Amino acid sequence: MNIFRVGIYGQKPPTRRKKSAGKRAVTRRDILAFLSTVPIAGHWLSARASATQTVGDLRVTTFSADITIPIGHACMGGGVADAKQIVDPLFAKGFVLLGTGRPIVAVALDWCQCNNDSYDRWRDALAEAAGTDRERVMLATVHQHDAPICDLTAQKLLDEQGMFKSNCDAEFHEKAVQRTAAALRRSLKSTTPVTHFGTGQARVEKVTSNRRLVTPEGKITWGRGSKSGNMGDAPEGEIDPWVKTVSLWNGDRPILAWSCYSVHPMSYYGQGGVSADFVGMARDRLQKETPDTFQIYYTGCSGDTTVGKYNTGKPENRPVLAERLYRGMAAAWRSTQRKPLDRVTLRVVDMVLGARNSPGFTFEDMKQQLADKKLTRWRRISAALGLSWLKRVEAGQPVDLPCLEFRGGGDTAEFMIMPAETFVGYQLIAQKIRPDAFVVVAGFGDGATGYIPTDQCWRDGYNDHYCWVPKYTEKLMTQAMSKALGVDVAK
């Protein structure tokens, strides 16, 4: 393996800049300059060998499984009310691509997050079912909050404190994994040739806004949540307004499509009503209108994007948001252009990110928080999640950053999955790295890191306890994205 290594010690933060209410658009030239001047330390990354296949006998199959949590199971990892009723089911939806060497699996789960060994368990089981390797399983959660966050190591730590099943039910977790693996195995009995790929996009109106806003007094805050409403008529802020769709075809017949849009998928939530929320409604409606095309939905990089400007948390907001997203998804599907598929490439980049060690985030601090019965349940669970990440960092286990490339007819589509709650700025950077390609970026791969803000957000004073990586990781992340996208811009 050709490993690119950098320092192993702490990183000195970039010089603080004066806070600014506005942001200048970042260009590809800015990215190149940034990578050539900003140091990284405490991290390393490596790119694995790519698997490239000239298409001739490429085939695909799709699978779906019900992974709805039972009544009483923790929602959002124990951060909100436990499941009281099933409003609508949660699904795992994915596909298996064959004919590229060992099979490639892509799947989206209607869960909030899979962290650390939960993420590994899912990929190991699906890899075994498909006859492939863990690294060739591209898995992301959709991140609905009336759904589970699962971290098996964190739950073991909670068990030691008598907080059984407070984050997740390990027995149910395994049942959901096995149910999905069985669905994948059954799907392999019937595959369809793939000859073309398609791309389409459309704007989504009045759904997304950024958490970051500037108060009338000029203060920068990240106080706009998912049900804040129209706070002072502040602008939407930094978002990606486009829903993007990639599809696979057999001749002129579409087989499957997956759409991706950057927004926290939360409308009316936190009361114990298990639901795939408005994104699930939009996906299901499009599926009904395209019954012969398997529809999958991924959430883009959305650590800092929510429906807050357009949502007050009332139940009647959910179908309104679903309708707006559906319109964008349907328009992206109608605009899809089909191209002959000549080559498929999978690239996987390993990132070893450091651990946040500021006050409150050290091993001793989080251990104390976990044991402190005076703290809220969620605060203690968060400490367990942070300790789970710290164990992972100490073990040197990397976070995968996979990218699946489709090429043909002079066009290229890139589908990349970023870890956890990566901010939308990274998605926009990825698009600038490959302006020649149709770049689709999903977030919420391995959820272990929590939030991953851009450097500018850190400089502007961002701070949240649900973040376990050090400040100023943008250079490493940009280098990793570049390698995954097939363009090494690091100098």
**pLDDT tens across 199-225, in order?**
999 999 999 999 999 988 889 999 999
Q: In Å, what is the CA distance from 148 to each residue of 170, 260, 372? A: 11, 21, 24
Q: Tell me what pLDDT residue 27 has.
A: 58
Q: Which long-range contacts (CB under 8 A, 24 or more apart) does 376-383 make?
A: 377/78, 377/163, 377/166, 378/78, 378/79, 379/465, 380/158, 380/161, 380/163, 381/77, 381/78, 381/79, 381/154, 381/158, 381/163, 381/166, 381/167, 382/79, 382/465, 382/466
pLDDT tens per residue across span 76-126: 999 999 999 999 999 999 999 999 889 999 999 999 999 999 999 999 999
Query: Residue 433 in contact with residue 185, Cβ under 8 Å?
Result: no
Using CA atoms, how far apart are residues 401 and 481, in angstroms rounded to an integer? Answer: 8
Indicate whether 119 belongs to any domain.
Answer: yes
Q: Tell me what pLDDT residue 36 has.
A: 38
Q: Is the pLDDT of residue 35 over 50?
A: no
Per-residue pLDDT band at 440 (split at 50, 70, 90): very high
Per-residue pLDDT band at 154 (split at 50, 70, 90): very high
Average pLDDT, stretch 439-444? Answer: 98
> Which tops the pLDDT comparison, 41 or 428?
428
CA pseudo-torsion sign 391, 393, 398, 403: positive
Per-residue pLDDT band at 352 (split at 50, 70, 90): confident
Segments forming the whole domain that contains residue 336: 59-342+410-447
HSE, side-chain direction, 13 A CA sphere, residue 264: 29
Average pLDDT, stretch 7-15? Answer: 29
Q: Is the pLDDT of residue 15 over 70?
A: no
Query: Residue 261 in contact with residue 300, Cβ under 8 Å?
Result: yes
Indicate whether 217 belongs to any domain.
Answer: yes
Mean per-residue pLDDT over the chain, rounded: 90
> Which tops the pLDDT comparison, 171 or 43?
171
Indicate whether 209 belongs to any domain.
Answer: yes
Average pLDDT, stretch 277-294? Answer: 98
Average pLDDT, stretch 160-173? Answer: 98
Q: Which of 41-45, 394-398, 447-451, 480-484 has the lowest mean pLDDT?
A: 41-45
Using CA atoms, how far apart are residues 320 and 42, in angstroms rounded to an integer? Answer: 45
| Number of domains present in the structure of the chain | 1
Strands 85-86 and 273-274: what pairing? parallel
Indicate whether 290 belongs to any domain.
Answer: yes
Q: What's the length of the chain?
A: 491
Residue 160: phi, psi to the nearest 5? -65, -20
Indicate whether 4 belongs to any domain.
Answer: no
Query: Residue 261 in contact with residue 283, Cβ under 8 Å?
Result: no
Indicate whether 384 belongs to any domain.
Answer: no
Query: Residue 355 in contact with residue 361, Cβ under 8 Å?
Result: yes
Q: Tell me what pLDDT residue 303 has.
A: 97
Q: Is the pLDDT of residue 21 over 70?
A: no
| The residue to which tokens 């939905």 are assigned | 297
Query: Residue 435 in contact with residue 404, Cβ under 8 Å?
Result: no
Indicate whether 180 belongs to any domain.
Answer: yes
Q: Is the pLDDT of residue 491 over 60?
A: no
Q: Is the pLDDT of residue 31 over 80?
A: no
Q: Is the pLDDT of residue 302 over 90?
A: yes
Indicate whether 390 belongs to any domain.
Answer: no
- List Cβ neighbours of 123 (8 Å cut-off, separation of 6 or more): 134, 137, 139
> Which tops the pLDDT comparison, 478 or 491?
478
3-state secondary structure the chain: CCEEECECCCCCCCCCCCCCCCCCCCCHHHHHHHHHHCCCECCEEEECCCEEEECCCCEEEEEEEECCCCCCCCCHHHCCCCCCEECCCCEEEEEEEECCCCCEEEEEECCCEECCHHHHHHHHHHHHHHCCCHHHEEEEECCCCCCCEECHHHHHHHHCCCCCCCCCCHHHHHHHHHHHHHHHHHHCCCCEECCEEEEEEEECCCCCEECCEECCCCCEECCCCCCCCCHHHCCCCCCCCEEEEEEEEECCEEEEEEEEECCCCCCCCCCCEECCHHHHHHHHHHHHHCCCCEEEEEEECCCCEECHHHCCCCCCHHHHHHHHHHHHHHHHHHCCEEEECCEEEEEEEEEECCCCCCCCCCHHHHHHHHHCCCCCHHHHHHHHHHHHHHHHHHHCCCEEEEEEEEEECCEEEEEEECCCEECHHHHHHHHHHCCCCEEEEECCCEHHHEEECCHHHHHCCCCCCCECCCCCCHHHHHHHHHHHCCCCCCC
